[in-house]
Amino acid sequence: MPHDDKARRGAAPARSRGDSTTRRTLHYFWLVTRRHFGLFAGLMLATFCFTALLSYGNPYVMSLVVDRVSAEPVAADQVLEVFGPYIAALIAINVLGQTASKLQDYTMYKLEIAAAYDLATMSFDALCNQSMSFHSNRFGGTLVSQTTKFMSAYQLLLETITFPFLPVICSIIFTCGILAPRVPVYVVILMVLLAVYAGVSYYMYKRILHLNEQAASAQNQLSGELSDSVANILAVKTYGREDYERGLFDQANREVVARDSKRMWASLARGIITACITVAIMAVVTVFIAGGNAWYGITPGTLVVMFTYTYTVTNQFNFINNGLQRFNRAFGDASGMTVILDEPRLVADKPGAPPLQVREGAIDFQDISFWYTDGDTRTQVFDGFNLHIPAGQRVGLVGMSGAGKTTLTKLLLRLSDIQEGRILVDGQNVADTTQQSLRRQIAYVPQESLLFHRTIAENIAYGRPDATMEQIREAARRANALEFIERLPQGFDTITGERGVKLSGGQRQRIAIARALLADCPVLVLDEATSALDSESEHLVQDALATLMKGRTAIVVAHRLSTVASLDRIVVLADGKVVEDGPHAQLIEAGGEYARLWSRQTGAYLE
Say if domain 20-342 classifies as CATH 3.40.80.10. Answer: no
What's the mean pLDDT when you consider all of the chain?
83
The pLDDT score that the predictor gives to residue 602 is 44
Pairing relationship of beta strands 553-557 and 428-429 according to DSSP bridges: unpaired
The pLDDT score that the predictor gives to residue 347 is 77
> pLDDT of 383-410, one tens digit each?
999 999 999 999 999 988 888 888 899 8
SS3 at position 595: helix
Which phi and psi (to 5°) does residue 490 adopt? -100, 5
The pLDDT score that the predictor gives to residue 100 is 94
Give the DSSP per-residue string, 94-132.
HHHHHHHHHHHHHHHHHHHHHHHHHHHHHHHHHHHTS-H
- From CA 387, how far away is CA 364, in angstroms rounded? 6
E-only strand ranges, 478-560: 523-527, 553-557
> pLDDT of 326-335, one tens digit each?
887 888 889 8
Handedness of CA 583, 587, 588, 594 (dihedral sign): negative
Which phi and psi (to 5°) does residue 482 adopt? -60, -40
Dihedral angle of Cα 98, 104, 107, 110, to the nearest 10 degrees: -90
**Residue 365 near residue 421, CB atoms below 8 Å:** yes
Which residue type does 505 have? Answer: G
Lowest average pLDDT, out of 30-34, 130-134, 513-517, goes to 130-134
Helix axes 505-519, 469-478, angle to 10 degrees: 120
Lowest average pLDDT, out of 107-121, 332-346, 593-607, goes to 593-607
Q: Where are the domains of the chain?
A: 20-342
- Checking if the pLDDT of 447 tops 80, the result is no
Query: What residues contact residue 381 under an 8 Å CB cut-off, 6+ apart?
Result: 370, 371, 372, 404, 407, 576
> Of 149, 115, 156, 142, which Cα lies nearest the Cα of 334?
149
Lowest average pLDDT, out of 23-37, 68-82, 158-172, goes to 68-82
Give the mean model confidence (pLDDT) for residues 353-382. 88
- From CA 581, how far away is CA 531, in angstroms rounded? 23
How far lies 22's CA from each of 149, 262, 335, 339, in Å? 14, 20, 7, 10
> Of 476, 480, 486, which Cα lies nearest the Cα of 542?
480
Model pTM score? 0.68
**Residue 446 near residue 499, CB atoms below 8 Å:** no
**Residue 78 near residue 150, CB atoms below 8 Å:** no
Give the DSSP per-residue string, 459-473.
HHGGG-TT--HHHHH
SS3 at position 198: helix
**Residue 593 near residue 578, CB atoms below 8 Å:** no
The pLDDT score that the predictor gives to residue 136 is 67
- Checking if the pLDDT of 83 tops 50, the result is yes
- Per-residue DSSP letter, 551: T
The pLDDT score that the predictor gives to residue 5 is 40
- Checking if the pLDDT of 370 tops 80, the result is yes
Task: Select the more confidently predicted residue: 345 or 565.
Answer: 565
Reported residue count of the chain is: 607
- Beta-bridged to residue 573, according to DSSP, are 578
Query: Which of 163-172, 221-230, 361-370, 371-380 is most confident?
Result: 361-370
Chain centroid to CA 123? 4
> pLDDT of 251-292, one tens digit each?
889 988 988 888 888 878 777 877 787 788 778 778 877 877
- Checking if the pLDDT of 502 tops 90, the result is no
> Of 36, 39, 54, which Cα lies nearest the Cα of 108?
39
- From CA 555, how far away is CA 600, in angstroms rounded? 23
Looking at the chain, the number of H-run helices and the number of E-run strands are 20, 10
Question: Counting beta carbons within 10 angstroms of the beta carbon of residue 149, is it exposed (0 to 12), middle (13 to 18) or buried (19 or more)?
Answer: buried
The pLDDT score that the predictor gives to residue 1 is 39
- From CA 75, how far away is CA 62, in angstroms rounded? 19
Lowest average pLDDT, out of 135-149, 190-204, 503-517, goes to 135-149
The pLDDT score that the predictor gives to residue 237 is 74
In the chain, % of residues over pLDDT 70: 90
Which phi and psi (to 5°) does residue 239 adopt? -100, 5
The pLDDT score that the predictor gives to residue 534 is 63
> Of 387, 383, 257, 274, which Cα lies nearest the Cα of 320?
274
Task: Select the more confidently predicted residue: 177 or 5.
Answer: 177
Handedness of CA 484, 485, 488, 489 (dihedral sign): negative
- From CA 549, how far away is CA 542, in angstroms rounded? 10
- Per-residue DSSP letter, 441: T
- Checking if the pLDDT of 154 tops 60, the result is yes
> pLDDT of 478-492, one tens digit each?
888 888 899 988 999
> pLDDT of 298-316, one tens digit each?
778 888 888 888 888 887 7
> pLDDT of 198-256, one tens digit each?
888 777 777 776 777 788 788 878 877 887 787 677 677 766 778 888 888 888 899 88
- Per-residue DSSP letter, 400: S
The pLDDT score that the predictor gives to residue 13 is 44
The pLDDT score that the predictor gives to residue 167 is 86
Give the mean model confidence (pLDDT) for residues 175-197. 85
The pLDDT score that the predictor gives to residue 78 is 82
